[in-house]
Structure 1
């Protein structure tokens, strides 16, 4: 946001011809440039007619970009002229006046309302599960299981459904694009399970386990060596989750992930806090992308 001026120039060759611009310098300086820089559209008019632009009026504004947007929105011309490659417009003076009056009360831009962190996290999770499937999520996901979002496949079909349905493998209802099994989705997304393990013969010790298999697969293989699952959490970002859990435990990741001596209540609280930390970290990364 930069303060400056919104100015209006008129040209003797055409009483309906106006040049409206913004500048952080004094409008008189920009007037000189418009009358001498023939590479600009305004300058070409000076070159062709032999007549110079004149400064009609100007307004000091706290936010130049916002002032210009407000001005053109109030004139009835939907787009700012330079977006169409033209700096000059033919219009009635009453249109110019409407724009100037709107600018006087425009103030500064209001920052966009910040979305909650969980919305960023849900959106990132669904997008990750859509990679390589020819399906695009439209908008942000506010709830994976109760809300509805629009989706579009690469064939151009658009539909609205519960985000979790598509995230778990549902494809386009018209052409089937992107349909996958839940197992294919899990493997492609590289999601995992983080465990808090205890051992009946080793009180006072806990073990943190991470696997890219399902809990059912681990149980079927009986690969726990007497360790039992005390708590677990499905995670879309296993590496980040493991890093955060050790941070919450206040303990460095041990070599070979051997058991550590820690109060079970502290470990339980770390698992309870993990979800919030994951949401916060993922949201920060997504905001940075925006």
Structure 2
């Protein structure tokens, strides 16, 4: 995570919302069957409307437990961050080392192409370059810029733990979208701990969005900013995300970020 968050200025870009040229599709995988059923045009529309898109459940209860079970295996991680030491909030998150756990690797590889499709719909609106169609190509770009360390992570919050608002930027190469997957059952495994997204609107008060995913659901959201129609094209609205304090129980989330870190 990058703290404090760097907020990017309001920058116009020209053109209308581009017509969707095709529908992205994730090939069927018996271990992740839900990915093949995702309605990407609908998720794209929700992302444009709300700044965050909530998927149907992507992981089963057993798969969520499997990922939570990695948390205590030190050999699986390259870095451990105790958040209160850095004023990031309170709680612990751990970055996976290479090779990533098979389920995490599969999610990252299979979700990247349709998210790249969304990123490339946004690119002309934000005045940014297009992104490669495969994660392998993006990883090569990261390596050429000194970004070699994987960024998927698992977060663990207990009672009273929370995350300050932030952006996940780890170098010059920044893929503009990420996804976080809820690994617990809200209301049963924990209470509180809502996901909070704050959109900075130039010349207006910031807008807060609260999202409450169920077990296995994913939240797709911008890493830095999203395009908003303006008088002269599109404008960049910076976004940050965080987590409200957990009131009881244990809350775990899998974060899937696609660019690597320096």
The bucket for the TM-score relative to the shorter chain is under 0.3
TM-score w.r.t. the length of structure 1 is: 0.22
Tell which has more relative contact order, 1 or 2 (C-alpha 8 A, sep 6+).
Answer: 2
Which structure shows the higher strand fraction? 2
Which structure shows the higher helix fraction? 1
TM-score w.r.t. the length of structure 2 is: 0.23
